[in-house]
A and B are shown apart, each in its own frame.
Chain A
Amino acid sequence: MPVAFLNFMEVTMNGLMAGVLYALVALGFVLIYKASGIFNYAQGVMALFSALTLVGIMEGQVPFSHLINAILGTEIHHFGWHINAFFGILFTMVVMVGLAYCVQRFVFRHLVGQEPIILFMATIGLAYFMEGLGDLMWGSDIKTLDVGLPQGGSLAIENLTVGLAAEGARYYGMYIDKLDMVATVVAAILVVALVLFAQYTKQGRAMRAVADDHQAALSVGISLNFIWILVWSLAGFVAIVAGVMWGAKSGVQFSLSLIALKALPVLMLGGFTSIPGAIVGGLIIGVGEKVFEYQFGPMLGGATENWFAYVLALLFLVFRPQGLFGEKIIERV
Chain B
Amino acid sequence: MFYREAGDFKTSYSADNQTFPIRFDRYRYYLVLFVAFLVIPFIINDYWASAILLPFLIYAIAAIGLNILVGYCGQLSLGTGGFMAVGAYACYKFMTSFPDINIFFHVLFSGGVTAIVCVIFGLPSLRIKGFYLAVATLAAQFFLVWLFNRVPWFYNYSASGQINAPERTVFGIEVTGPNTEAWAVYLFCLVFLVGSAIIARNLTRGMTGRKWMAIRDMDIAAEIIGVNPLTAKLSAFAISGFFIGISGALFFSVYLGAVEVGEAFGINKSFLVVFMIIIGGLGSIFGSFAGAAFLVLLPVLLKNVLVGGLGWPTDTAAHFEFLIVGALIIVFLIMEPHGLAQLWRVAKEKLRLWPFPH
Which residues of chain A have a CB within 8 Å of any CB of chain B? 39, 66-67, 70-71, 107, 110-111, 114, 116-118, 120-122, 124-133, 135-136, 140, 258, 261, 264-265, 267-268, 272, 300-304, 306-307, 310-311, 313-314, 317-318, 321, 329, 331-333
Hey, which chain A residues are within 8 Å of B310, CB to CB?
70-71
| Partner-binding segment picked from B27-35, B102-110, B312-320 | B312-320
Q: Chain A binding site: helix, strand, loop or mixed by DSSP?
A: helix
A147 to B: closest C-beta gap in Å: 25
Please give, as numbers and ranges, the residues of chain B lying within 8 Å of A132 by CB-CB distance.
319-326
Tell me which of B138, B143, B326 contacts A264 (CB under 8 A). Answer: B138
Which of the segments B126-134, B231-239, B252-260, B350-358 contacts the partner chain?
B126-134
Measured between C-beta atoms, what is the minimum distance from A285 to chain B in Å? 12
Pick from B128, B138, B275: contact of A310, CB under 8 Å: B138
Check B322–A310 contact: CB distance below 8 A. no
Given A132-B319, A133-B323, A306-B142: A317 in contact with B136 (beta carbons within 8 A): yes
Pick from B124, B141, B322: contact of A128, CB below 8 A: B322
1/0 per position for B12-42, CB-CB distance to A under 8 A? 0000000000000000000000000000000
**Contact residues in A for B337 (Cβ distance below 8 Å):** 114, 118
A124-B274, A333-B221 given. 7 additional CB < 8 A pairs?
Answer: A66-B313, A67-B312, A111-B333, A128-B325, A307-B139, A310-B142, A321-B128
Contact check, B131 vs A136: say whether CB atoms are below 8 A apart: no
B327 interface contact, C-beta 8 A: yes
- A107 pairs with B135, CB closer than 8 A: no
Of the residues A39, A125, A307, A331, contact of B220 by C-beta under 8 Å: A331
Chosen A-B contacts, 25 in total, with CB atoms closer than 8 Å, are A39-B131, A70-B316, A111-B333, A114-B337, A117-B76, A122-B330, A125-B333, A126-B326, A127-B326, A128-B323, A128-B326, A132-B320, A133-B323, A135-B319, A135-B322, A136-B316, A258-B267, A261-B267, A268-B132, A306-B146, A310-B142, A310-B143, A317-B128, A317-B136, A333-B221
- Residues of chain A within 8 A (CB-CB) of B134 are 120
Closest 4 CB pairs of A and B: A129-B326, A125-B329, A132-B322, A132-B323
Instruction: Chain B residues near A314: list those with CB within 8 A.
Output: 124, 136, 139
Residue B44 lies at the interface, judged by CB distance under 8 Å to chain A = no
User: Please, which residues of chain A bring their CB within 8 A of the CB of B249?
Assistant: none
**Does B334 belong to the interface (CB within 8 Å)?**
yes
Contacts of A265 in B (CB 8 A): 135, 138-139
Cα distance A85–B351 when bound, in Å?
Answer: 61
Which of chain A's residues have a CB closer than 8 A to the CB of B218?
333
What residues of B have a CB within 8 angstroms of the CB of A120 in the complex? 76, 131, 134
* Chain B residues whose CB sits within 8 angstroms of the CB of A124 once the complex forms: 271, 274-275, 329
Q: Are A131 and B150 in contact (CB under 8 A)?
A: no
CB distance from B83 to the nearest CB of A (A): 15
Which parts of B296-349 form the interface with A (CB within 8 Å)?
A: 310-313, 315-316, 319-330, 333-334, 337
Say whether B278 faces chain A, with CB atoms less than 8 Å apart: yes
What are the residues of chain B within 8 A of A133 when measuring CB–CB?
323
CB-CB nearest in chain A for B124: A318
For A67, list chain B residues within 8 Å (CB): 312, 316, 320
- Kindly provide the distance from the CB of A200 to the nearest chain B CB, expressed in whole angstroms: 31
B308 to chain A, nearest CB (A): 13
> Cβ of A333 and Cβ of B220 under 8 Å apart?
yes
B159 within 8 A of A: no
Question: Within 8 Å of chain A (Cβ to Cβ): is B224?
Answer: yes
CA distance A60 to B303 in the complex (A): 30
- Select the residue from A71, A307, A333 with max chain B CB neighbours within 10 A: A307
Which of A71, A116, A128 makes the CB contact (< 8 A) with B131? A116
Determine the distance from Cα of A333 to Cα of B131 in the docked complex, in whole angstroms. 20
Shortest Cβ gap from B130 to chain A (Å): 7
**Chain B: minimal CB distance from A301 (Å):** 4
Q: Does B151 reach chain A (CB closer than 8 Å)?
A: yes
Question: In the complex, are the beta carbons of B128 and A130 less than 8 A apart?
Answer: no
Given A307-B143, A314-B136, check contact A131 B326 (CB 8 Å): yes
